[in-house]
Structure 1
Amino acid sequence: MESNMAAVSDTIAPLSNAEAVDAPRVGAFLIKPIEVVSALLLALIMVLLLAGVASRYVFSVPVIWIDEVASISFLWLAMLGSAIAIDRNEHLRLTIFTGMFPKRAQAFINTLSLLVMAAFLLVMLQPAVEYVMEEWYVTSPALNIPNSFRVSAIAFGLFAMLGLVLSYAVKTSTLRDLAVAAALIGAIAGAFWLLSPALLRLGNINILIFLVGLVAVCLVMGVPIAFCFGIGTLAFLAFSTRVPIFVMIGRMDEGMSSIILLSVPIFVFLGCILDATGMGKAIVDFLASLLGHVRAGMSYVLLGSLFLVSGISGSKVSDMATVAPALFPEMKRRGHQPREMIALLATGAAMADTVPPSIVLIVLGSVAGVSIAGLFTSGFVVAMVLLAVLAALARIKASGENLRNVRRAPLQAIGRTLLIAAPALVLPFLIRSAVGGGVATATEVSTIAVLYALVIGIVLYGGIGWRKFYGMLVETAALSGAILLILGTALAMAWALTQTGFAQQLAAFMTGLPGGWMIFMAATILIFLILGCVLEGLPAIVLMAPLMFPIAKNLGINDVHYSMVVVTAMNIGLMAPPIGIGFYIACKIGNVSPDEAMGAIWPYILALLVGLVLIAAIPAISTSFL
């Protein structure tokens, strides 16, 4: 089975031109030590958190300094992981537009994208160093050491990323492209600097110029989303305000340092364990033996597997990469068209993204201040509503399914697959009940789940070699770094928006809309459908949650109910062609052309929209079990 990380990196365009994809890793001398340190940091974080759980719940003696050491390690992991993600081409970016240009133009645009990233990193280095110096006078409460030991990770990470980006630029671009791209960036920056007195007088029009226009141009060029947000915010602060760039580093630090986010890399690692040990396949095999003989049975199995597997991995990519290879061959044999299978896979993954331990829900709880226990409880119910509408459509679509050679599995076979799958089936319910019941935090549960999965996976499902284990740690660091850098730059951009007074103006406008909370909910659905297509889930949430949630609260909308509408709308947008990134990932995993699958997915998108309208219009779906 392909690893989920390979599926992502193959779907997202490379950082350099097409001919350079197989080029030697020019930053190997730098990246190898970073990979080793990142793997050690992730292992240290998990050991520390397990020790903290044991000291608190077993020995009733909480160890205060554990959280501080974990926090320091976490920021270093995020920044080092961001560097690894550049080396592995795992930073999320929009590529649909770059492919429309002629091949020669694509090479120049890729060079320009690299130098835009390098310019951002170079400019941010000085304020990052100043931030380290300022934080020397702030000491941590438990360890009593300067906070500079923690925040120096930002400066080092920026430096490492700059070295890697420049290495790729020199290795994969022509001298002419490098010179022209550098001159173009310098000319644009110089023009903005000369116009800055006039820009200062434009007020909120600068939001359209920098935070919308410049960000959109960078997205079209294929610049990674984290850097698009960072460049837009940097230019906005530098050319249209008197706010020092130094402040932006502090906002990025805040975005990446929330203790709640510690569970993100751990749940990502849990998804790797699921893939490596075959625990996910055991769940799929059990559901296939139970439901495979009925009409639309394999569609039910696919949806049910995504529902259950999502409750372990927390990652859509991991879910799809686990389920599709196990089910698609049998579905093809029964007459399912590949395009229909991809449509069901993509929308099923969108459905399952509210099932705990959804990384999106964890991030949303962190940035919007919503109870993660409440989100986990509500997310389970909301996913069942979406599961029901997709299953109903799958039943209608299965009218011509070929069941001539399909037989009901013997009870003995069902019992055997249940016995094999039982330890894996326990895990999603363990996670949901522990967090939803308030027994433990999401971070604590994630560490317990990893320990459980490691022990059960190794003992019952096959061992994990040390080389494979190390690869999983590095893989997790890279994906976590890519996620957390997006959170850091998106939070900086959201802060810049709020400082302009735009948030207050938006609140006044949205509150004054006729129709009350229902019209506001309809506007929310439209906004997050569009943002889900363009920005993917996490950036859209971090960017808009600080603006939209206070308005929802003023209108009397329950924050958990609103969260479910936001996440569901965003996930539907993520899977909606022609822009939705998740749709292309599903096509890559299923080895089906996007052009072929594009026409088949719309009925499933419509089914999800029906479910979304029900969720938005009936608050009790989201709140009745809180």
Structure 2
Amino acid sequence: MEVLLFGAFTLLAILGLPIAIVLGLSSVIGLVLGSDVPLTIVAQRMFTAASSFPLMAIPFFMIAGALMEGGGISKRLIHLANTLMGATTGGLALVAILTCMFFAAISGSGPATVAAIGSIMIPAMVKAGYDVAFSSAIMAAAGSIGIIIPPSIPMVTYGVVGGVSIGSMFLAGFVPGIIFGGVLMAVAYFISKKRGYKGTGQFSFKELFIAFKDAFWAILMPVIILGGIYGGIFTPTEAACIAVFYGLFVGFFIYRELNFRDLGRLLVNSAVSTSIVMLIIATASVFGWILASEQIPDRVAQMFLDFSNNPIMLLLLINVLLLVAGCFMETNAIIIILAPIFLPLIIQMGIDPIHFGIIIVVNTAIGQVTPPLGVNLFVACGISKITLESISKAVIPFIVAMIVALILITYVPSVVMYLPNLLMK
């Protein structure tokens, strides 16, 4: 069965089919040729996976992010970041990264963050004399923070698959997200200093106050949503619904930049994005069910233990595998397929499943900027109109910095677990 399953998966992936189709077809091929299980199980497993109550948070967080983007949030967050960092060497590059960190607390998606902020910041950086490939690489790398700082759609997926608290996952993502932003800023600063990219203007507390006041309603959204989750007022799914109503209120009545014509377009775009993610989750659940029924996770765990029972070495091997997978597979598919395979091993080694969940999410965040399937790269290329080859070269220093951050997050568990242990007792 495993030969049929992974053989079909590899062949279909090489043919360039969408990952959801690859997962679904390889599952069907494995069942038809390698078992007597009726194919009705495919529809049943897909329906069961997609009808999960916690997964309802995904479409609502996508809609909320689209509403906040269309409601004028992006430019206000950029203005706030510019008043904080704009006067520094490489100011616009640092502003782009800081704004992505702000927007990550709203969108929960890497590509959405790149699209929302990059459409403004890439042209601004190019106009200021920044290299177009460098500008695009910054946006692609910084956009990956969108799935690390909560609320995060992949964290919701992992919470469902791994049976862990989504609220704890959200808490665990804060510090790693800040670390990612910090290392990307450091790289951007040194490259900017080497190339002579100057800051613009001077820092002003008065301007900062005005920018903060203007962006207040945007900043308040994650405070309300995450505060409500950690305060036990509502669940992550209910929080996602509240985020939608908050986005509608701010867009229509506070910033007044939303109208019913824009609303229709935003809802359609969100529905398309949601359908893609949910189809991947549904087909990946069938693939994962076959793996579990064939006891492949147990055999993989034993294989790793036979190779080495040293947690440091095992985590290194898992990270390498996840980084390679991120080059070829979509974020949610990686989580649904690989998390159940490695969780028994992780628990056996005494590693907290929350910590491991952040390791997976961080690896998939790096995967969003590694070719050939780095989705953030394609979004940034679409904005700047450059080739994948150009942006792939420019993003290498940022990928190296992200891997350094990954090593820190992997081998210093307190970086991840401090907030969950402090606030979720």
TM-score range, shorter chain: over 0.9
- In the alignment, structure 1 residue 330 sits paired with structure 2 residue 124: yes
Shift of 1:594: 1.4
- In the alignment, structure 1 residue 460 sits paired with structure 2 residue 229: no
Match of 1:311 in 2: 105
The one of 272, 278, 285 equivalent to 2:66 is 272
Match of 1:292 in 2: 86
Could you tell me which amino acid in structure 2 is paired with residue 607 of structure 1? Answer: A
Deviations 1:163-185 (A, max 9, x none): xxxxxxxxxxxxxxxxxxxxxxx
Q: After TM superposition, list the pairs within 5 Å mapping 1:62-461 onto structure 2.
A: 206-208=1-3, 210-399=4-193, 400-403=195-198, 406-408=200-202, 410-461=204-255
Shift of 1:432: 2.6
User: Closer, same or farther in 2 for the Cα pair 1:402/1:499, shift >3 Å?
Assistant: closer
Shift of 1:578: 3.4
Shift of 1:257: 1.3
Could you tell me how far apart the structure 2 residues matched to 1:466 and 1:389 are? 41
Match of 1:477 in 2: 271
Could you tell me how far apart the structure 1 residues matched to 2:410 and 2:337 are? 21
Could you tell me how far apart the structure 2 residues matched to 1:581 and 1:533 are? 10
Shift of 1:502: 1.6
Shift of 1:613: 0.3
Number of residue equivalences: 419
| Larger deviation, residues 317-326 vs 232-241 | 317-326
| Larger deviation, residues 378-387 vs 322-331 | 322-331
Match of 2:314 in 1: 520
Could you tell me how far apart the structure 2 residues matched to 1:378 and 1:590 are? 34
Could you tell me how far apart the structure 1 residues matched to 2:123 and 2:14 are? 37
Deviations 1:70-111 (A, max 9, x none): xxxxxxxxxxxxxxxxxxxxxxxxxxxxxxxxxxxxxxxxxx
Deviations 1:241-277 (A, max 9, x none): 1111122222112211110011111011012102211
Report SS of the residue matched to 2:394. coil
Report SS of the residue matched to 1:216. helix
| Larger deviation, residues 433-442 vs 591-600 | 433-442
Match of 1:555 in 2: 349
Report SS of the residue matched to 2:222. helix
Shift of 1:339: 1.0
Could you tell me how far apart the structure 1 residues matched to 2:64 and 2:138 are? 24
Could you tell me how far apart the structure 2 residues matched to 1:464 and 1:387 are? 30
Could you tell me how far apart the structure 2 residues matched to 1:296 and 1:360 are? 31
**1:270–1:312 Cα contact (<8 Å) kept:** yes
Shift of 1:515: 4.6
**1:336–1:401 Cα contact (<8 Å) kept:** no
Could you tell me how far apart the structure 2 residues matched to 1:452 and 1:501 are? 45
Shift of 1:509: 1.4
Deviations 1:136-163 (A, max 9, x none): xxxxxxxxxxxxxxxxxxxxxxxxxxxx
Shift of 1:580: 2.4
Could you tell me which amino acid in structure 2 is paired with residue 380 of structure 1? Answer: F
Could you tell me how far apart the structure 2 residues matched to 1:244 and 1:411 are? 68
Deviations 1:276-331 (A, max 9, x none): 11112211111112221111222221111111101111121221111112222332
- In the alignment, structure 1 residue 537 sits paired with structure 2 residue 331: yes
**1:578–1:598 Cα contact (<8 Å) kept:** no
**2:118–2:380 Cα contact (<8 Å) kept:** no
Could you tell me how far apart the structure 1 residues matched to 2:75 and 2:347 are? 42
| Larger deviation, residues 606-615 vs 365-374 | 365-374
Shift of 1:459: 1.5
**2:148–2:365 Cα contact (<8 Å) kept:** no
- In the alignment, structure 1 residue 599 sits paired with structure 2 residue 393: yes
**2:67–2:248 Cα contact (<8 Å) kept:** yes
Report SS of the residue matched to 1:244. coil
Could you tell me how far apart the structure 1 residues matched to 2:205 and 2:255 are? 22
TM-score normalised per structure 2: 0.94
Could you tell me how far apart the structure 1 residues matched to 2:273 and 2:364 are? 20
Could you tell me which amino acid in structure 2 is paired with residue 605 of structure 1? Answer: I
User: Closer, same or farther in 2 for the Cα pair 1:413/1:505, shift >3 Å?
Assistant: same
| Higher Cα radius of gyration | 1
Could you tell me how far apart the structure 2 residues matched to 1:375 and 1:220 are? 34
User: Closer, same or farther in 2 for the Cα pair 1:505/1:621, shift >3 Å?
Assistant: same
Could you tell me how far apart the structure 1 residues matched to 2:283 and 2:379 are? 24
User: Closer, same or farther in 2 for the Cα pair 1:375/1:403, shift >3 Å?
Assistant: same
Shift of 1:485: 1.1
Could you tell me which amino acid in structure 1 is paired with residue 312 of structure 2? Answer: M
Match of 2:423 in 1: none
**2:122–2:139 Cα contact (<8 Å) kept:** no
**2:250–2:256 Cα contact (<8 Å) kept:** no
**1:281–1:322 Cα contact (<8 Å) kept:** no
Give RMSD over aligned pairs.
1.7
Deviations 1:574-615 (A, max 9, x none): 211234233222221333221211211111100000000000
Shift of 1:473: 2.2
Could you tell me how far apart the structure 2 residues matched to 1:578 and 1:236 are? 27
Could you tell me how far apart the structure 1 residues matched to 2:87 and 2:37 are? 65
Shift of 1:350: 1.7
Report SS of the residue matched to 2:229. helix
Could you tell me how far apart the structure 2 residues matched to 1:527 and 1:270 are? 33
**Aligned-pair identity (%):** 26
Could you tell me which amino acid in structure 2 is paired with residue 322 of structure 1? Answer: A
Shift of 1:409: 5.1
**1:521–1:616 Cα contact (<8 Å) kept:** yes
